[in-house]
Amino acid sequence: MRGSKNAVTKHMVAAMLGDGPSVIRNAPQVGDVDITAAMLESAGFHVGLEDSEITIAPGSEVRTRVPEAFTGLNRIPILMLGPLLHLTGEAFVPLVGGDPIGRRPVDFHAEALTALGAEIAYGPTGITAKASRLHGARITLPYPSVGATETVLLSAVLAEGKTVLRNAATEPEVVELALFLQRMGAHIELSPDRRIVIEGVPRLRGASTRLAGDRLEAFSYLVAGLITGGEVRVHGCPQDRLVTAITTLARMGTRFDITDEWITASAPDGLQPAAVHTDTHPGFMTDWQQPLMVLFTRANGMSVLHETVFENRLVYVPALQKMGCEIEVFPNCLGGPACRFHDGNALHSAVIRGVSKLRGAEVELPDVRAGFSAVLAAAVADGPSALHGVHHIERGYHRPFDQFASLGLRLAHGSA
């Protein structure tokens, strides 16, 4: 199992801060790596991509602007503001993109950078930032946002003085980034109660690391085996990254065989329904819920899914409904305590009836994880399916069609 797209691209940005080359190993071959590499090269860095290894080295001159041609391709540009400010004192990055799963405002990022001493200005095509020198600050995030936590880490490590970040995200990918920065020479303390303390240092050096296996892919392929009534063995993803996921699947009747090298899942006696709500780490990950939704259609009874992280994460449900999945969505908080979307109109809870009889259909894939789930539904549907927008899957999963083929799924990959 290769490292995750959510980890590798953030490490690539962190490498901007080193005064020598950095090497990232066990990197996945995903579209977001190529996009991020092109952005770094546009800013004056040398990037070498060779199978599972990425080398990033400083160039002779750092350019302050990330070209507008990268507008909307992913969410990495906003993370480059802090490093560019340290290197040049000013920066421009284009508007960010990513999957249409709900509001992921850049306000948290901008407010954190402002607290660290940056002047931020919004324009029609992007964000401009200026700072003669970033300084430490006390920052409390309104929500434990992964991206905003990463912005603070990438910006505070070279700031003057101490930064204390409260209500920080603690996802494994965030900790992995903090450990990489520590290898580069950063002074970072991970404290209890979602608090991170960062003592700024004058310089960082290049470093080398090996990414841990992608917990999103691991869960997706384990579920793929369960959906199709088979058994899948996943190698290279540590058990501690899947604790909540394993327990959730076990409650549904999944049997696990777990070693230090691999995890195997099967459900020879069938699957039982469940009620699950997503949450920040260490809760059930929001990126796990799309495969789980399809798995619920194979369970014998009514299941409930309550999404609490992104209010529009269920945007993919119509595609699954078109394939015969019996799913109803609601604005109410079902399957868990009231969340921050309880008084709005966002359809963020779903009731799923199993066992649904799925049928082949022609559907458009709206985002990375939803695209994977549609493939899973198509794998157990009666008749062929035509899935458009497969580039979303390639942006986020390592060589997905080779992996699907290894699982026995027959695919005809077109150019759409």
Which residues are marked as active site?
Answer: 99
| Cα gap 239→128, rounded to integer Å | 42
The sheet with strand 126-130 has its strands ordered as 90-94, 126-130, 119-122
Hey, what are 266's tokens?
């099967």
| Cα gap 340→337, rounded to integer Å | 10
Name the DSSP class of 204: B
Contact 306, 336 (CB under 8 A): yes
Q: Give 122-127's long-range contacts (Cβ < 8 A, gap of 24+).
A: 125/68, 125/71, 125/94, 125/95, 126/66, 126/68, 126/71, 126/77, 126/92, 126/93, 126/94, 126/95, 127/78, 127/81, 127/92, 127/93, 127/95
Which helix (DSSP H) or strand (DSSP E) does residue 93 occupy? strand 90-94
Please list, in sequence order, all residues whose beta carbon lies within 8 angstroms of the beta carbon of residue 231, skipping any fewer than 6 positions away: 225, 264, 265, 266
Contact 219, 291 (CB under 8 A): yes
Closest alpha carbon to 32 in 367, 290, 313, 307: 367
| Cα gap 294→305, rounded to integer Å | 11
Q: E strands of 104-220, at which residues?
A: 119-122, 126-130, 138-140, 162-166, 187-191, 195-199, 208-210
Name the DSSP class of 124: S
Name the DSSP class of 18: B
